[in-house]
Structure 1
Amino acid sequence: MKSVAASGLVIAAILSIGLGGCGSSSKSDSASSASSTAPATTTTTVEPQAKVAPRPNIEGPNPTIAGYLKQSGVTQTPVHRGDPGAPVIDLPTPDGWVDAGPDTPKGAYYAVIYTGPEAHNYTPSIVAVVSKLTGDVDQQKILDLAPGELKNLPQFAPMGDGSSTTLSGFPGYQSGGTWVDNGLTKMIAQKTVVIPGSDGLYMLQLSADCLEDQLDVAAPATITIDDQTKITT
């Protein structure tokens, strides 16, 4: 595997889904900053795990979207493909990845997993969750609070500043970094997108999960998703 520390392109790419700035419209130069300051990494051997690692939802000092929705009395309803009235979100399957099938998390709109040899002990995954937000919700507030969830993770270390972005023309926010989960240093990246629909506001959250030394396989997949996703309302 190529050295992650030596690959500035990979580090820049990882910040685009929070992991595909190369294909998104970003208002920050955080990716280039991260590429010059990212520490060297080492290969980690871990025990086999579930194909899709659980997405953390940890309470902490940083305000989050979930907290705002609860305080504002906004109802968050999971959306699945084909739901009447919901936006149609066409997410690609990157080369070397497959649909997670029965390993798709409950309530997820989409999930893919990497199938290459690097996934022998730990499987990189990308998950999309779509929600309909019913109530008095501030679209900009959603984006402003988007980084809070990652900032509350144990030992979270951001890879540069997060940034405003778009996905298929819809506004979003992206951020990414490393955190420690049961002794493992993981990379997590998240892109939150707000989609005004015919019957209300929808929120798409894409999250990519991998070990720190698996960036070389995760980053190209996030670029594909960033470039090829199509959202139709």
Structure 2
Amino acid sequence: MEQTLTNIVDDSGTPVQTRRALTSNSVIYEPDDVSTTGTYGWYIDLDMPRATQTTSGAANPDSSGRNPPDAQFPGEKAIRRLVLRNGAIVTTTVLPSLDEFSCYGTRPGAILVLDAVTGGDIGRPVIDFNTDGVIDENDLLEDGGDTYSAGLLFNQGDLDGALVDLSTLGGEGDADWLFACGGNDCLPFRIEPPDESRTGRLSWRELSED
């Protein structure tokens, strides 16, 4: 089952953010008839067109990439390592270069947040995207009456290079730190901690204990 990713430009704050919202389609992992063969599970195509409007209905100020209805960044790939948080997958994408003479993408890339089981919207805030120090409903995206735990497409000036693997650091209180880095720049975000006491370097005996 395909989960569809959509670019939504949120102009409710400053700066304007392009968020990445996922559908929540049901996923089939096995056929009703065990004798039936097929392909099951979920997938996501990174072929989203650029949004034409913002959440307020204004014209989208972003002109990067290709024009709709073409994919905004054809060739975008999710090839970085995954960060798991309580059933949520957090990862980054890499955008194609500006032209044949450049190794830098039109934008640094994007953070995706998805349900590890369905590949769709996780349905809760996972990252402090509005950077107010709290992971709560204010980090969700509302659009057209729907609420999403949407990812984030970075603006050109956010980082001075393409996104690399995400890194995390255990924090104090009820959240850890997530670092999104590219070039010589890093942006810190709060991220929910693992809901699991057995973390860090573990033996196979610890992992096998109930």
Higher relative contact order (CA 8 A, sep 6+): 1
TM norm structure 1: 0.24
TM norm structure 2: 0.25
From the CA coordinates, give the structure whose radius of gyration is larger.
Answer: 2
- Judging by fraction of residues, say which structure has more helix: 1
